[in-house]
Amino acid sequence: MNTKTILNIAAFALMVIGLSFKSLHWPGSATIVILSAIIMLVSLFMFAVKDNKEAGVNDALNYFLSGTVALWIIGAIFKFQHWPAAGIFVIVAYVLSVALPIILIAQKDDFKVSRQFLITFFTFFLLLLGTLHHNPISKFLGSGGDYIKTTIGIENDSTTVTHSD
């Protein structure tokens, strides 16, 4: 196995383990999730940028593509950790992702992108999608708060306690 494959497998495995730990509220989950994101960022900038350049992507587009994926990764980590500004990263990543097809359609040449880039992009796209409420991934994993409440029959009624003097 080459370094690229090992880094991708390690990042994905650590992300799954870290998110599992996080959903179970076990200690060390934040460290594992952040470590997996760092490994994926290193893999992205060590291999995907180089592979895209070898595939014929010009430098400006190459760094735009890689920057968009980096924002997805950072946004996902901020979202998973419930850090401030997570929404800003996610919104910017969504806007850039919507702009990507428009930019790619405007390309005059036949556009090719590396497999490394696609793996990185779709992995974190799915992981970030899993953090949003009312999506198929969170329902499948059982991580959506509304889904869990309706599944086990918890109603959203409040009880009031009054104190008399």
92 — phi, psi (to 5°)?
-65, -40
40 contacts: CB under 8 Å, gap ≥ 6: 7, 8, 11, 15, 73, 120, 123, 124
Write out pLDDT tens, residues 15-38.
888 878 887 888 998 899 899 989
55: left (phi over 0), alpha (psi -120 to 50) or beta: alpha
Question: Model confidence over 74-130: pLDDT tens digits?
Answer: 888 888 788 898 888 888 888 888 887 777 777 766 666 667 777 777 766 666 665
**Residues 18, 152, 129, CA angle at the centre, nearest 5°?**
40
> Is this structure's pTM higher than 0.85?
no
Domain positions in the chain: 3-143
